[in-house]
A = this chain, B = another copy of it.
Amino acid sequence: MDETPVRGRPRSETARRAVLDAALELCRSSGYQALTMKGIAEKAGVGRQTVYRWWPAKQDVLIDALRDLALLRAEQLNPETGDTLSDVRMLLDATFSLTTALTGNALVGLMAEAQHDPELSRRLQGTVIGPRRQALRDLLARGVAGGELSDAAMSLDLAVDFAFGTMWYRLISHHAPVDSELAGQITAALAELLRPDAARGPVPPPAD
């Protein structure tokens, strides 16, 4: 293979972990806005240049940290229990369990930052948002194909929006927890909305 020959002192895994851990912890305790490259370096007991050497900005540190976490718990995006609704519930459960207190601030802060950083937005879509969204949609589509579900009355895209929208809404607003019970409730609601015999109800008149 074209394994580039390593020259010079190899990268310190200790420093890498210390930085990622410090970033998540600081983000949890003080919030995304207060998160600072300098603060990360000091908390991690690491030189400032060591942070900048590997991550251009605090967003990159956080994304790496989140990816590390996700990899650890990447049970599976595609549970395949045979039953579509069970698969849905397991996917939602697994997803919700990633939105812990440790990661909540980071996720919301990153999403906010992405409002005016298209590149960051693209990366978040590609790593954090997109795969989960696609996985759920695929599950539902499989259910439709198998006859368990029907998208006659409601588009699958909107169904997915319902599920993850509720999650984000609660993550942002904190008016209710994002837990396993919510996963069950959402699964039940999706079952209702996509039940095979559903017919689209009468659409209310436009609001003009």
Contacts and interface: CB of A to CB of B under 8 A. Distances in A.
A65 B183 CA distance: 37
B187 A31 contact: no
Interface of A: 30-34, 83, 85-86, 88-90, 93-94, 104-105, 108-109, 111-117, 121, 125, 129, 133, 153-155, 157-158, 161-162, 164-170, 172-176, 180, 183-189, 191-193, 195, 198, 200-207
Given A166-B165, A169-B168, A33 B113 contact: yes
B195 A201 contact: yes
7 contacts: A30-B116, A88-B204, A112-B172, A114-B172, A162-B165, A165-B165, A188-B204
Closest 8 CB pairs of A and B: A31-B116, A112-B112, A165-B169, A165-B165, A165-B166, A93-B207, A90-B207, A89-B204
Given A162-B166, A173-B129, A206 B189 contact: no
Given A32-B116, A161-B165, A165-B166, 14 more contacts: A31-B117, A32-B115, A89-B207, A111-B112, A111-B172, A153-B188, A153-B192, A161-B166, A161-B170, A162-B165, A164-B169, A165-B168, A187-B203, A188-B201
Contacts of A86: 204-205, 207
Contacts of A176: 157, 161
Q: Which residue, of A30, A162, A167, has the highest number of chain B Cβ atoms within 10 A?
A: A162
Contact of A193 (B31, B85, B180, B193): B193
Contacts of A129: 173
Nearest to A200: B188
A203 B185 CA distance: 8
Contacts of A94: 207
A207 to B, nearest CB: 4
